[in-house]
Amino acid sequence: MKQDTSPKRWRMTRRGFLIGMGLAGGGLALGAIFGLPAARLALADMFADVINIPSNMPREPQLWFTIQPDGRVTMTMPKVEMGQGVHTALAQIAAEELGVSWEQMQVVQSSSLGPVADGAGTSASYSVISLFPLLREMAATLREMLRTAGADQLGIAPAQTRIEQGFVVDADQPARRISFAELVAQPRNWETPTEAAPLTPPERWQIIGQPVPRLDLPAKIRGEAVYGYDARIEGMLYGAVARPPRLGAKLRRAAAGTARNRPGVVEVVIRDGFAGVVAESRLTAYAALNDLELDWELPPPFNLAELQARLAAQAGSGTVIQRQGDAAAALRGAGVIEATYQTPLAAHANLEPQAALVDVQPDRVRAWVSTQSPVQVARTIAEVIGRKPETVEVTPTYLGGGFGRKVTTTVATEAALLSAAVGRPVHVGWTRTEEFRYGYLRPPTYATFRATLTDDGRIAALVQHHVSGNVLFDLFPPPLRWLFGSDFGGWRGARLIYDIPNLEVKAQTVDLPVPTGPWRGLGLLANVFAVESFIDELAVAAGSDPLDFRLRHLPDTATGNRFRAALEAVAAMAGWYDQPPPGRARGIACSIDAGTIAAHVAEVGLVEGRLRVYRVWAAVDPGVAINPDGLAAQTEGGIMMGLSAALFEQITIADGRIEAGNFDRYPLLTIADAPEVFVQILRSGDQPFGGGEPPMGPIAAAVANALARLTGERRRQWPLV
């Protein structure tokens, strides 16, 4: 399936790049060795709220591009495509610097073994941010090498050439030109540039910034795109795994019972803490689970109210994550405004449940998995079935939604255990019930606020006590947990952006008996809901217009100015100072995440007493958008998902068990409740910031603020409907 792209020979260049020649088919390839690019360190300082920038690209040659003799440029993707359009955006960056036409670009997905294996996985809106500097530099280097070769062929100096759509062109006589394809088809001693290749200046960008169509959509439109649930190979079987009756239950003893007698059952696999069935069909495998004899050790039951009480009890403890002046002293006395906001447990509800196909053979293991973390999955499989990591190859498929739920994919380990037992490929695809009950959830949050205002209506002091369940802590070893004190995934979005002379934000992380983890944006949506709702309450208390109140409190910094531009843009789009239609009200909110600023206005009304969101306006400043239509799509989608979460969703627990077993108990937003969405993309620089999560940040707060304006009654808990 995968073409042979391993170069016959690698040569180290002065700048840490590797050049490969003599490719199958006679192409030229460029790769790089890199550990932690300096660019990432610089970027880390730019995002106080995002300090987890894992980078564990292996120190092996990484093959990024091959130029084929027919002129096509194949780019290998380290990041997975889960609908965020990342393959297209990364290819745009590369095409721009290579100087080829967009039509020449094609992409293939890297596996966990390379050629561009990325241990960091695809998450946290970091793909474009982190790869932008590296990709540009590598593509520009390859372009300059081609330029030198082309100039040589044309008998002119490199300075007399220009690069045009995959050709080296004689600037004086444009008819004299030679294509990249011709250059790489000839044997040549490739020279590496002695100086850093110049990057194309932003004012000359022709592909970056264009709304080019997504590369993955033609296959998706025809139903031909292959996702983890669709992975099929010859001779495969289907697996199913026994699930505990209560959260935290351990399998004490298991026996095959009558399962082996059921026609179509191939094997019953029982290991420490694990019982599963392999069968000729998925339906048979699941049916046979009922034939097993299972003895579970049950932990004490608990219910949702107990979890929420645990959070509330921790308010005020934890680590300080933001401090200015002396907020505690300033809050002694009268006139303190207080409020508490809560968000519930929630599911990712990715429409493609967890799925993996794994083929364990004596000499090697191959897996096709719907995962955001192929390298981690490969390591885990190797560990669980006792193989060397370099013999396990995980190829990520398209993902039918990720949203953080496919950062950890135990389904691949389950399929590996089953496949190892039968020596044949086994596919495991979870049911919707398994997806709801046996994965992990977005943790609940509990945030209390206290503030005072000055006589002229400014915020004098503000304290926030933030509590959340784990988001990233479960992925951390204990020393790191101690070092960080609280889970920065949980408090993502909880720091205030406003200029407040006395400010303190404390964050606490609480272990809960329910597995919780990353959900799109981590804490962003819930925390911005709390912060920006409270800011709105203060605006009301100060007798100010909520937009004016925000503008007045923005710091006089570059970031403050970006916020001002976004707020003013969204206000202009929505006609903020005009009367909304009768029976409706508007609310505003803003946020920053992964460097990207978003400002939303939501217009709401009540239909037979039920909240209805009619229109949403969004101004988004991602620095610069690689693909504006792609970013608009992420904004529209993030708004819908955020609305769904805030309006309708919550996971409830009774008797130690998640109650929702399907969408009948966990309905999502539908097209009937979807608002009209208007998006404007702003530009504030030449470095792209995050796109997958940040644009959803303000939506829940904007809606809650609109609702409070409409009814005069403040809602501080989801679901809002």
Partner 1 sequence: MELTINGQRYTVADEPARPLLYVLRDELGLTGTKFGCGAGICGACTVHVNGQATRSCQTMIATLAGAQITTIEGLADGERLHPVQQAFLELQVPQCGWCMSGQMMTAAALLAANPTPTHEEMIAAMRYNYCRCGTYARIGRAVMRAAELMKERAG
- Amino acid at the residue 542: A
Complex with partner 1: residue 20 or 85, whichever CB lies closer: 85
Complex with partner 1: residue 197 or 645, whichever CB lies closer: 645
CB-based contact 252:264 (threshold 8 Å): no
SS3 155: coil
Alpha-carbon distance of 254 to 264, in angstroms, equals 21
Alpha-carbon distance of 605 to 580, in angstroms, equals 10
Complex with partner 1: residue 282 or 458, whichever CB lies closer: 282
The nearest distance, CB 670 to partner 1, in angstroms, is: 5
The nearest distance, CB 34 to partner 1, in angstroms, is: 30
The nearest distance, CB 122 to partner 1, in angstroms, is: 13
Complex with partner 1: residue 276 or 630, whichever CB lies closer: 630
The nearest distance, CB 602 to partner 1, in angstroms, is: 14
Alpha-carbon distance of 301 to 248, in angstroms, equals 10
Complex with partner 1: residue 175 or 607, whichever CB lies closer: 607
Q: How far is C-alpha 571 from the chain's CA centre? A: 28
Complex with partner 1: residue 192 or 350, whichever CB lies closer: 350
Question: H or E segment at 588?
Answer: strand 584-593
Complex with partner 1: residue 203 or 664, whichever CB lies closer: 664
SS3 169: strand
Complex with partner 1: residue 36 or 351, whichever CB lies closer: 351
Name the residue among 423, 406, 422, 424 with its Cα closest to residue 369. 406
The nearest distance, CB 663 to partner 1, in angstroms, is: 4
Complex with partner 1: residue 214 or 246, whichever CB lies closer: 214
Complex with partner 1: residue 66 or 284, whichever CB lies closer: 284
Return the structure tokens found at 461. Answer: 């002091």
Alpha-carbon distance of 109 to 397, in angstroms, equals 8
The nearest distance, CB 442 to partner 1, in angstroms, is: 14
Complex with partner 1: residue 587 or 628, whichever CB lies closer: 628
The nearest distance, CB 241 to partner 1, in angstroms, is: 16
The nearest distance, CB 24 to partner 1, in angstroms, is: 30
The nearest distance, CB 427 to partner 1, in angstroms, is: 9
The nearest distance, CB 52 to partner 1, in angstroms, is: 24
Q: How far is C-alpha 68 from the chain's CA centre? A: 32
**Intra-chain end-to-end CA distance of the chain, in Å:** 49
CB-based contact 630:406 (threshold 8 Å): no
Name the residue among 559, 601, 599 with its Cα closest to residue 580. 601
Q: What is the DSSP string of 268-298?
A: EEEETTEEEEEESSHHHHHHHHTTSEEEEEP
The nearest distance, CB 492 to partner 1, in angstroms, is: 20
Residue 194 has φ and ψ, to the nearest 5°, of -80, -20
Complex with partner 1: residue 459 or 620, whichever CB lies closer: 620
The nearest distance, CB 231 to partner 1, in angstroms, is: 9
Alpha-carbon distance of 392 to 411, in angstroms, equals 16
Complex with partner 1: residue 258 or 670, whichever CB lies closer: 670
Complex with partner 1: residue 405 or 495, whichever CB lies closer: 405
Complex with partner 1: residue 187 or 263, whichever CB lies closer: 263
Alpha-carbon distance of 392 to 400, in angstroms, equals 23
Residues of this chain that bind partner 1 (CB under 8 A): 82-85, 213-214, 216-218, 220-227, 229-230, 232, 238, 281-283, 349-353, 398-403, 429, 431-432, 629, 633-634, 636-641, 643-644, 662-664, 668-672, 674, 676-677
SS3 203: helix
Return the structure tokens found at 35. Answer: 């550990």
The nearest distance, CB 152 to partner 1, in angstroms, is: 42
Question: What is the residue whose two structure tokens read 């309450």?
Answer: 537
Residue 428: Cβ-neighbour burial (10 angstroms; 0-12, 13-18, 19+): buried
Q: Up-side HSE of residue 477: CA atoms within 13 Å toward CB?
A: 1
Question: H or E segment at 551?
Answer: helix 546-553
- Amino acid at the residue 88: T
SS3 346: strand
CB-based contact 715:620 (threshold 8 Å): no
Complex with partner 1: residue 283 or 305, whichever CB lies closer: 283
The nearest distance, CB 636 to partner 1, in angstroms, is: 5
Alpha-carbon distance of 435 to 327, in angstroms, equals 44
SS3 568: helix
Residue 531 has φ and ψ, to the nearest 5°, of -65, -50
Q: How far is C-alpha 221 from the chain's CA centre? A: 23
> How far, in Å, are 190, 353, 497, 601, 642 from residue 592 at the CA level?
45, 30, 8, 15, 15
The nearest distance, CB 672 to partner 1, in angstroms, is: 4
- Amino acid at the residue 347: A
The nearest distance, CB 281 to partner 1, in angstroms, is: 6
What is the 3-state composition of the chain as percent helix, strand, coil, each rounded to the nearest 5? 30, 25, 45
